[in-house]
A and B are shown apart, each in its own frame.
Chain A
Amino acid sequence: DVKVTQSSRYLVKRTGEKVFLECVQDMDHENMFWYRQDPGLGLRLIYFSYDVKMKEKGDIPEGYSVSREKKERFSLILESASTNQTSMYLCASRILGGSSYNEQFFGPGTRLTVL
């Protein structure tokens, strides 16, 4: 079974702190994604990566950056956390190639609170 893990289930940070959210997948998937989930808004794509050292902006990249130094790991970075970044963050991975039919596998999520 594909396993996507995230470093923390719950995280509390203060405004202005630098925050790292880590995601690791164990199925050699090329594609990895970071979403934020907010009530009434569903999932919105922050950044994605097609492969190692590659990254593309999603719909809401402002205030975030990412790092993909190894294939299995995709990190989301909040350079200076703000209260409006309080949210649930979901990581996902997907195999490249073949049909777009391919399923995205999700991590358990990190609920981040910025005080």
Chain B
Amino acid sequence: AQTVTQSQPEMSVQEAETVTLSCTYDTSESDYYLFWYKQPPSRQMILVIRQEAYKQQNATENRFSVNFQKAAKSFSLKISDSQLGDAAMYFCAYRGNNNDMRFGAGTRLTVKP
């Protein structure tokens, strides 16, 4: 079964600085999809960014970008110009051919003013 590992339980960043959240996964599939979800305190989980494994180009959504290394099975999230509203739990997720979504344990991001 596929597994998703987020090795950083907690991270902190100074406002306006850049932070990178790590995610690795284990799979034998060649086609799959990767996601980063954000869960703000007491609020609903929302999609931040997604990446199709067959695309070599890294996905970007405004201040959020990923570094997708397929051979290394790594999918890190970079947040540029961090804002107070970025404080949240961030979950990395994998979806393969069986359509099940596998989540990592999450990284709690704190943004310091």
CA A42 to CA B105, docked complex, whole Å: 4
Cβ-based interface call for A90 (8 A)? yes
Cβ-based interface call for B15 (8 A)? no
Q: Identify which of B44, B97, B105, B106 contacts A106 (C-beta below 8 A).
A: B44
Q: Residues of B contacting A40 with CB < 8 Å?
A: 9, 105
Cβ-based interface call for A45 (8 A)? yes
Query: How near does chain A come to B25, taking the closest CB pair, in angstroms?
Result: 12
Residues of A in contact (CB 8 Å), total 22
CA A35 to CA B100, docked complex, whole Å: 12
Query: How near does chain A come to B110, taking the closest CB pair, in angstroms?
Result: 16
**In contact, A42 and B91 (Cβ under 8 angstroms):** yes
Cβ-based interface call for A12 (8 A)? no
Residue of B nearest to A45 (CB): B100
**In contact, B9 and A101 (Cβ under 8 angstroms):** no
**In contact, B105 and A100 (Cβ under 8 angstroms):** no
Say whether, besides A42-B91, A45-B100, A106-B45, A101 and B52 are in contact (CB < 8 Å). yes
Q: Residues of A contacting B97 with CB < 8 Å?
A: 100
**In contact, B103 and A43 (Cβ under 8 angstroms):** yes
Q: Beyond A42-B91, A103-B47: 17 further Cβ-contacts under 8 Å? A: A33-B101, A40-B105, A42-B6, A43-B91, A43-B103, A44-B103, A45-B101, A48-B100, A100-B97, A101-B33, A101-B50, A101-B52, A103-B35, A106-B37, A106-B45, A106-B46, A107-B44
Residues of chain A whose beta carbon lies under 8 Å from any beta carbon of chain B: 4, 31, 33, 35, 40-45, 48, 58, 90, 99-101, 103-104, 106-109
- 23 A-B pairs (CB sep. < 8 Å): A31-B99, A33-B101, A35-B103, A40-B105, A41-B105, A42-B91, A42-B103, A42-B106, A43-B91, A43-B103, A45-B100, A48-B100, A58-B100, A99-B52, A100-B32, A100-B95, A100-B96, A101-B50, A106-B44, A106-B45, A106-B46, A108-B43, A108-B44
